[in-house]
Amino acid sequence: MVRVLVSGACGRMGQAVVKAVMEDTELELVGAVDLKGGMDAGELVGMGRNGVIVATDLSQAIQDTKPEVMVDFTRPDVVFNDACTALKLGVSPVIGTTGLSAEARAEIASLAEKHHTPAFIAPNFAIGAVLMMLMSQQAAKYMPNVEIIELHHDQKLDAPSGTALQTAEMIREVRKSMKQGHPDEKEKVAGARGAEVDGMHIHSVRLPGYVAHQEVIFGGLGQTLTIRHDSINRESFMPGVVLACKKVKGLEGLVIGLDKLL
Ligand code: NAD
156 is catalytic: yes
Q: Of all atoms in ligand 1, which is nearest to the CA of residue 14?
A: 26
Ligand 1: nearest atom to the Cα of 124: 40
CATH fold of 2-121+235-260: Rossmann fold (3.40.50)
> Can you say whether residue 220 is alpha, beta or left, with left for phi > 0 and alpha for psi between -120 and 50 degrees?
beta
Mean pLDDT throughout 38-49?
Answer: 97
Torsion of CA 4, 9, 11, 17, to 10 degrees: 30
pLDDT at 36 over 90: no
The domain made up of 127-231 has a fold known as Dihydrodipicolinate Reductase; domain 2 (3.30.360)
Contact 40, 96 (CB under 8 A): no
Which strands, in side-by-side order, build the sheet including 119-121?
27-33, 2-7, 69-72, 92-95, 119-121, 254-256
Residue 158 pLDDT exceeds 90: yes
* Adjacent-strand bridge partners of 254: 119
What residue ranges line ligand 1, CB within 6 angstroms?
A: 7-8, 10-14, 33-36, 73-76, 78, 96-99, 122-125, 156, 212, 237
Distance of CA 225 to CAs 2, 138, 142, 147, 148, Å? 42, 12, 11, 11, 12
Give the model's pLDDT for residue 142. 97
From start to end of 110-161, where are the E strands?
119-121, 145-152
pLDDT(200) > 90: yes
Average pLDDT (53-77) is: 98
Average pLDDT across the chain, whole number: 97
**From-to residues of CATH 3.40.50.720 in the chain:** 2-121+235-260
Q: How far apart are CA 152 and CA 133, in angstroms?
A: 17
Question: Where does the pLDDT of residue 105 fall: very low under 50, low under 70, confident under 90, or very high at 90 and above?
Answer: very high
Q: What one-letter code names the amino acid at 110?
A: S
- Nearest CA to 194 out of 220, 229, 164, 218 is that of 164
Q: For residue 73, how far is its CA from the centre of ligand 1 (angstroms)?
A: 4
- Among the listed residues 135, 125, 156, the one whose alpha carbon sits nearest the alpha carbon of residue 216: 135
The yes-or-no answer on residue 152 being catalytic is: yes
Indicate the pairing of strand 119-121 with strand 145-152.
unpaired
pTM over 0.85: yes
Q: Residue 237: pLDDT above 90? A: yes
Under the banding of pLDDT at 50, 70 and 90, the label for residue 184 is very high
Protein residue closest via CA to atom 11 of ligand 1: 35
Average pLDDT value for residue range 167-174 = 96
Q: Is the pLDDT of residue 90 over 90?
A: yes
- For 181-206, what is the mean pLDDT? 96
pLDDT the model gives residue 205 = 98
Quote the pLDDT of residue 121: 98
Strands 92-95 and 119-121: parallel
Catalytic residue, chosen from 19, 152, 213, 247, is 152
Would the pLDDT of 262 be above 90?
Answer: no
Sequence ranges of the chain with CATH classification 3.30.360.10: 127-231
CA 114 to chain centre: 24
State yes or no: pLDDT of 246 exceeds 90: yes
